[in-house]
Amino acid sequence: MTRGTTRRAMLGAALASPILSRGAAAQADWPARPMRWVVAFAAGGAADTAARALAADMQDALGQSIVIENRTGGNAVIAANALLQSPRDGYTFLVDAANQLTNPVLMRDLPFDYATAFMPITQISAFPQVLAVKTDFPARTVAEFIEVAKTRPGTVSVGTPPAAGMAHLALASFERRAGLRLVHSPYRGGADAARDIMAGVIDAALITTSSIRAPVAAGKARVLAVTSLQRVPSIPDVPTLAESGFPGFDLNDWNGLFAGAGTPRAIVERVAAVAAVSARSAAVRARMDPAGAVMVGNSPEEFSNWLVGQRRLATEVIREAGITLG
C-alpha cells in the first residue's frame, strides 16, 4: 500500500466512522457549508500559522472551506466570546491557547467558565521552549546555570514573552523548583527577547525553539535545555529540564481547537479524527517542522485530560509566584 493510499484510507475512516457509528442522522450531511475558525491571535504568528496549515489540509478532506477569522484583544476573551455567541451547530470553532489555563486565575469577572463553556477537540500543536544563555554567560549546563545564579542571587536576568505567558510560567516554575532568585524581563514577543539576548542585554531567555534559532545561528546564544517532557527533534542533543534534575517538567506554548459546549459530540469527534490525520500529513509537517512546531492532533479525551493537568499546574504556579497580567 502506498503512502497516498494509506492517507486516503485514514481520511476515509476519519470521515465516516464517527457519524455512522452513532447514527446521527441530523449531522449526516455535515459539513454542508463553509466553517469558521476564530483565532485568538494575530495573523502571521506561530499559533495562527499552525492553525492555517492544519485547516488548509482539513478542508480538502472535509470538502468545505475553513475560513480563518483573527479576533485579537482582551487576552483572547474577545475570540472566546465570538465562539460562545455563535450557534453550537459545528460550523464555528475557536483556536485558543494557554489563556484557557491562565485567564481564570488572572482575570476577574469573566463572562464564562473556561472549564465548562468549551469542548476541547484537539491540540493542534506545541511550541517547545528553551532555556538559553548569551554566549559569554559562564554556564553550559542547567546545573552550571543554577550554580552561577545561586552565587549571584537577584542579578541574573531572564527574558520571556510576555508577562503571564507560558514562558513566564515555565521560568517561575523552574525558579521555584531550583531555589533561585532571578530577574524577570518580560517582552512583548519572542523576537524582542531574542534580539536582546543577541545584544547581550539580558543574560538568558526562555523562548520557543523557533525564536532562539537566529541568536544560536549567529553564535550569540547557547541552549541549555528544553521545557518539554521529550527532547525536540530539531535539537535532539539538547536535554530536557526533566532530564536535568526536574522530573515531569512540561510547560510549553501550544494551541488547540475548541467548540462551544453543546456542539454535537459526533461532529466534535469527526473534526478531531480528520485533524489527527492532517496533523501528520507531509504538507503540514513540511510547513511547520522548520518553525519548530510539534504537530499533535490528539483525541478530545486526550486533550481534555491534558488540559486538566495543565490547568492545575498553571494555577499553582501563578498563585505561588504571584504572577499578574501587569
Q: Per CATH, which fold does 129-226 belong to?
A: D-Maltodextrin-Binding Protein; domain 2 (3.40.190)
Q: Which fold has domain 3-127+252-321?
A: D-Maltodextrin-Binding Protein; domain 2 (3.40.190)
Residues of the chain with pLDDT under 70: 1-27, 326
CA distance 167 to 180: 16
Q: Where are the alpha helices (DSSP H) in the chain?
A: 3-20, 46-62, 77-84, 99-106, 114-117, 142-151, 166-178, 190-198, 209-217, 265-279, 282-288, 300-321
**pLDDT at position 50:** 95
pLDDT in tens, 246-266: 999 999 999 999 999 999 999
Please identify which residue in the block is written with the cell numbers 469573566. 110
Output the pLDDT for position 20.
40
pLDDT at 27: 65
Please give the pLDDT value at position 233. 86
CA–CA distance, 60 with 277 (Å, rounded to integer): 12
Residue 204 C-alpha cell reads as 538568558
Would you call 213 helix, strand, or coil by DSSP? helix
- What per-residue confidence (pLDDT) applies to 15? 53
pTM for the whole thing?
A: 0.88
- pLDDT, residue 4, reads 52
The pLDDT value given to residue 296: 96
pLDDT above 70: percentage of residues in the chain = 91
Asked, colleague to colleague, whether 3-127+252-321 and 129-226 share their fold, the answer is yes
pLDDT of residue 14: 54
As a whole number of angstroms, the distance between CA 19 and CA 267 comes to: 7
- What are the sequence ranges of the domains in the chain? 3-127+252-321, 129-226
Q: How far apart are CA 259 and CA 90, in angstroms?
A: 8
The confidence score (pLDDT) of residue 23 equals 39
| Per-residue pLDDT at 292 | 81
